[in-house]
Amino acid sequence: MNDIIPEALRRGEEYLDRVNELPVSRGQDPTAIRQHLEQTYSFAAPMPAAELVDDVAGMLEDWAVQTIHPRYFGYFNPTPLPEAVAGDLMAAIYNPQLAVWSHGPAAVEMEQHVLRWLAGRFGLPGATCGAHFTSGGSEANFTAVLAALTSRLPAYARHGLGGIDEKPTIYHSAAAHDSFTKICHMTGLGRDALRVVPLDGHMRLDLDALRERLEADRDAGETPVMVVATAGTTAAGIIDPLEETAALCRKHSAWFHVDAAWGGAAVLSPRLEQLMRGIEMADSITCDAHKWLNVTMGAGMFFCRDKRVLDETFRVSTDYMPGLTAGVVDNFVTSAQWSRRFIGLKLFLALASRGESGFAEIIEGQAAVGDYLRQRLEEAGWVHISRSPLPVCCVTHPRIEAGETSVDKVLEKVLASGQAWISKVKLGDRAALRACVTSCLTTLEDIDALVDEMDAAVAG
Ligand SMILES: Cc1ncc(COP(=O)(O)O)c(C=O)c1O
């Protein structure tokens, strides 16, 4: 038997045991990586499994930001739960094909079971809602725009944007995820169709500005098809006013999409769920399991209030696929992907293993560590320039404001220390350092270490 799987498990376990001791990141040099690849991988002769696995693992340890490290305070990349890793492994071993129900009925039903359960937590109507797993939040947002166009402009499916009279526009705040810019390009809406609405004093979608823009566009003969509210913005974790945005959408017959790619996980926490109030009014929701639900990439989810819209958007008939099965989900006619891996198994295993209360504990634990981070930064003289109820902080410092140092210099020093990984953002016209609690293994001691590192970097 090929021994590469046991070798990969052996090396993976070793890595998990000592990842905490590794630098969170090291220098990155494309020349060194390419030279190593040239020298080691001519592919001319077979390579023994142990040697191959050790070499690849070494590259991943030396030449990557260790996103699973408890002192990685970067983007929404979690330390995956072991159940999620097992889920990926089982999905790879069994490799079921989820395009059609009849090829992988158990797998499709497990995914639908977990999606139905989550749809219920979002407050969507179980009987009429449709949902599927995606590669990530970008694909889910893409699906939302396609669904909105299909639902609001019946001639779009047949004639495309060039063959209809309407000039569709979509709306989101200046802090929304930029996937929508690419989506406007990819769908043929054009980048100019995206209306970027300013933020209010709390960095949320400004409702007055949205109202004015919707009315002005209607008066100018445009057709507002969709408004996106973000529940947990990428930079600052801000939650847009969901209920009020829903009401405006209703008034203008616009599709209401909630991008809860990161923040959506809060619905599983009794303490945080009220932050998501209004999400139940969404026509569609993006929520990524590979963010705050702590599973491996890529596991996005798309929820649609009315599954008939998905049926209409992705309908297709072929002679070479097995026939469809009545009363079940055949993913290739309800979603963008065709051949599809068993994405949902990792979330299924994690939820089944931990239970809802276990998940609530993890999410609330991370939120509490985020509260501690907020407080420690404040005590150390850092100034918050955004206020999120979720575990992400964006800060500046009096020394930065006075021009004695800069965000870039502080960032460089923190990253060079290898002790923690943070990022920088621009909120309005202010640069800030951003630290997000994204690992369920981050402790209060890790927060102390981060703040010490930031203090040393800003002082030096
Ligand atoms: C709010 C939001 N939406 C969408 C996305 C895109 O998700 P993905 O990177 O999984 O495509 C992100 C990514 O960080 C995000 O923060």
Round the average pLDDT of the chain to a whole number and report it: 97
Q: Which of 75, 179, 295, 337 to mutate to test the pocket of ligand 1 (most atoms within 8 A of CB)?
A: 179
What phi and psi values does residue 74 have, to the nearest 5 degrees? -100, -130
Question: Which is nearest to 228 in space by CA: 126, 137, 130, 118?
Answer: 137
| Token representation of residue 125 | 């109507």
Q: Do the Cβ atoms of 310 and 291 come closer than 8 Å?
A: no
Assign 3-class secondary structure to 325-390.
CCCCCCHHHCCCCCCCCCCCHHHHHHHHHHHHHHHHHHHHHHHHHHHHHHHHHHHCCCEECCCCCC
Say yes or no: CB of residue 76 within 6 Å of ligand 1.
Answer: yes
H or E element that contains 246: helix 242-251
Q: From the CA of 257, how far away is ligand 1's center (Å)?
A: 14
Nearest atom of ligand 1 to the alpha carbon of 263: 1
> Does 404 have pLDDT greater than 80?
yes
Query: What percentage of the chain reaches a pLDDT higher than 90?
Result: 97
Torsion of CA 323, 325, 330, 334, to 10 degrees: 100
> How do residues 144-195 score in pLDDT, each as one tens digit?
999 999 999 989 999 999 999 999 999 999 999 999 999 999 999 999 999 9
Counting beta carbons within 10 angstroms of the beta carbon of residue 244, is it exposed (0 to 12), middle (13 to 18) or buried (19 or more)?
A: middle
* pLDDT tens string 323-363: 899 999 999 999 999 999 999 999 999 999 999 999 999 99
- Give me the pLDDT at residue 2, please: 78
**What does the block give as tokens for 221?**
């003969």
Pocket test for ligand 1, best of 67, 228, 262 (most atoms within 8 A of CB): 262
Ligand 1 centre from 340 Cα, in Å? Answer: 20
Q: Tell me the C-alpha distance between 277 and 99, whole Å.
A: 34
- What is the rounded average pLDDT of the residues 247-267? 98
Residue 28: per-residue pLDDT: 83
The structure tokens 């206020």 sit at 387
* Residue of 67, 134, 234, 392 to test ligand 1 pocket, by largest number of atoms within 8 Å of CB: 234
Rounded Cα–Cα distance for residues 243 and 314 (Å): 29
> Which of helix, strand or coil describes residue 139?
helix
Spans of all domains in the chain? 4-66, 88-350
Task: Tell me the CATH number of domain 88-350, given options 3.30.390.50, 3.20.20.70, 3.40.640.10, 3.10.450.50.
Answer: 3.40.640.10
For the ranges 162-166, 309-313, 392-396, the lowest mean pLDDT is seen at 162-166
Q: What is the DSSP string of 5-69?
A: HHHHHHHHHHHHHHGGGS-S-----HHHHHHHHHHH---SS---HHHHHHHHHHHHHHSS--TTS
CB 172 less than 6 A from any atom of ligand 1? no
- Find the range with the poorest average confidence among 21-30, 111-120, 141-150, 260-269: 21-30
pLDDT band, very low/low/confident/very high, at 83 (cuts 50, 70, 90)? very high
Whether residue 103 has pLDDT greater than 60: yes
Confidence at residue 460, expressed as pLDDT on a 0 to 100 scale: 82
* Mean pLDDT in residue range 395-412: 98
Q: What percent of the chain has pLDDT over 70?
A: 100
CA distance 312 to 143: 12
**27 pLDDT higher than 90:** no
What is the structure's pLDDT at 115?
Answer: 98
pLDDT tens sequence across 421-442: 999 999 989 999 999 999 999 9
User: Burial of 383 by CB count in 10 Å (0-12 exposed, 13-18 middle, 19+ buried)?
Assistant: middle
Residue 1 pLDDT level (bands cut at 50, 70, 90):
low
Tell whether ligand 1 has an atom less than 6 A from the beta carbon of residue 179.
Answer: yes
pLDDT tens-digit readout, 115-147: 999 999 999 998 999 999 999 999 999 999 999
Nearest residue (CA) to ligand 1, atom 14: 234
Q: Tens of pLDDT along 195-220?
A: 999 999 999 999 999 999 999 999 99
The Å distance, Cα 234 to ligand 1 centre, comes to 7
